[in-house]
């Protein structure tokens, strides 16, 4: 198998790299490099720049705004975006519900939602997980009872990322309580401004309110917002999750964070002493994660090569391998970044009376601890790593 890029693909990489260098607003790039949290306006601004270029949804069919790029070009684009580093287009729209609507939605849904997703006119969030229904997602209990031309939705979703900004939510709901748990689920598109919806923030250990609980109390949803067939939602969810897990590998993100790690390790410590890069044991840790990252990249390129040959149009079960190793590598790099700055990684130093004081270390140190804590979730969302190992044992090893 030849995993080298052709001259044309190398030229494409240079074109993409030049675009990111000139089109990405410097203040957004600076936030990305420093690991600081982006605002909603930052994400909207950048995605609209991409959409104006025609690059917001390169993986979509051309008729709906895609680029017609090969799988290799799409891989190069994602890697260069992550290494720029630039924000990803809002994944809940472009990489999750958008592909589901394209594959299973009707013409009215495609014409209404897809242009708005491309230009982020609608901010989407994902309504899958529930209290007690995370890894065992098919046990969800949020109900949708059909009453004429509407469904009445009752229940609760949790860990709903960025729901505080959302205009729309795509939800798995139980539409047939008498059916087997995977067979009685439907896929609904719900307006977040509907009466009966309440969003409550969940403050996480990094100090942010990135995730939320969403409550549905007698919420009316038009039957026209049902994607595909009633009670077939589990099939659509599996389709969505297969694509989500491939993206979680985030090879480009790990490359950029590894570059940042080496850069900070080479700095003179703020409090004096030896540089971390001069510690042989620490260099061994960097080398080990770099080797793991190269192996992950080769695995992802094999998946890309299989797509290029058209071997399968379905999500490759190897996406579970990418998900596991990708999340482990990202978490390892976040740990090494904490090692570099030591106690200065604390975002705040508590005073004796319990109040928080401004950070006492260098500016680059403050965001590292919140990132470390936030990235603990990577091995859980999109299907926990334990669930991915079960998928590998069945789909790849045949156990």
Q: Is 270 exposed, middle or buried (0-12, 13-18, 19+ CB in 10 A)?
A: middle
Instruction: Count other C-beta atoms under 10 Å from residue 335's C-beta.
Output: 13
Query: Is there a contact between 19 and 76 (Cβ–Cβ < 8 Å)?
Result: no
244 is catalytic: yes
Query: Is there a contact between 234 and 138 (Cβ–Cβ < 8 Å)?
Result: yes
Q: How many Å apart are CA 330 and CA 240, to the nearest integer? A: 22
Cα torsion 358, 259, 89, 201: sign:
negative
∠156-208-256 over CA atoms, to 5°? 115
Q: How many Å apart are CA 189 and CA 172, to the nearest integer? A: 9
Helix (H) or strand (E) holding 172: strand 168-174
Helical ranges in the chain per DSSP H: 7-23, 26-34, 40-53, 71-83, 91, 98-104, 107-118, 233-248, 251-265, 280-308, 319-341, 368-374, 385-395
**222 is written with which tokens?**
């038009």
Pick the catalytic residue from 210, 244, 256, 297: 244
Q: Is 243 exposed, middle or buried (0-12, 13-18, 19+ CB in 10 A)?
A: middle
Question: 3-class secondary structure for 269-331?
Answer: CCCCCCCHHHCHHHHHHHHHHHHHHHHHHHHHHHHHHHHHCCCCCCCCCCHHHHHHHHHHHHH
Helix (H) or strand (E) holding 169: strand 168-174
Q: How many Å apart are CA 195 and CA 110, to the nearest integer? A: 25
3-state secondary structure of 153: strand
Per DSSP bridges, beta strands 185-191 and 168-174 are antiparallel
Q: How many Å apart are CA 4 and CA 192, to the nearest integer? A: 46
Catalytic residues: 244
């Amino acid at each position: 198998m030849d995993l080298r890029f052709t001259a044309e693909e190398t030229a494409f990489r240079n074109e993409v790299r030049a675009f990111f260098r000139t089109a990405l607003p410097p203040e957004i790039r600076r936030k990305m490099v420093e690991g600081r949290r982006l605002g909603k306006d930052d994400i909207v601004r950048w995605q609209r720049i991409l959409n104006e270029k025609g690059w917001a949804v390169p993986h979509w069919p051309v008729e709906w705004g895609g680029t017609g790029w090969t799988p290799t070009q799409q891989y190069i684009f994602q890697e260069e975006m992550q290494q720029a580093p630039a924000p990803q287009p809002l994944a809940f729209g472009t990489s999750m519900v958008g592909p589901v609507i394209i594959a299973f939605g009707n013409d009215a849904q495609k014409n209404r939602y897809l242009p708005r997703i491309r230009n982020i006119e609608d901010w989407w969030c994902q309504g899958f997980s529930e209290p007690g229904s995370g890894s065992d997602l098919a046990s969800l209990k949020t109900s949708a009872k059909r009453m004429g031309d509407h469904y009445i939705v009752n229940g609760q979703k949790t860990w709903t990322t960025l729901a505080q900004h959302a205009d729309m939510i795509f939800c798995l709901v139980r539409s047939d309580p008498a059916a087997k748990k995977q067979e009685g689920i439907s896929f609904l598109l719900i307006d977040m401004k509907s009466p009966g919806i309440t969003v409550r923030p969940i403050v996480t250990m990094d100090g942010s309110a990135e995730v939320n609980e969403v409550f549905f109390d007698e919420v009316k949803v038009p039957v026209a917002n049902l994607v595909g067939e009633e009670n077939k939602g589990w099939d659509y969810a599996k389709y969505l999750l297969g694509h989500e897990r491939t993206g979680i590998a985030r090879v480009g993100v790990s490359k950029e964070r590894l570059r940042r790690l080496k850069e900070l390790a080479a700095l003179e410590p703020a409090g004096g002493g030896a540089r971390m890069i001069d510690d042989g044991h620490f260099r061994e840790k960097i080398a080990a994660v770099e080797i793991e990252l190269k192996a992950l990249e080769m695995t992802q390129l094999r998946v890309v090569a299989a797509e290029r040959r058209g071997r399968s149009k379905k999500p490759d079960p190897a996406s579970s391998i990418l998900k596991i190793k990708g999340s482990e590598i990202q978490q390892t790099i976040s740990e090494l970044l904490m090692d570099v700055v030591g106690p200065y990684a604390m975002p705040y130093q508590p005073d004796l009376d319990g109040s928080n004081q401004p950070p006492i270390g260098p500016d680059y140190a403050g965001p590292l601890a919140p990132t470390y804590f936030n990235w603990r979730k990577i091995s859980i969302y999109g299907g926990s790593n334990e669930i991915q190992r079960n998928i590998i044992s069945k789909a790849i090893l045949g156990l």
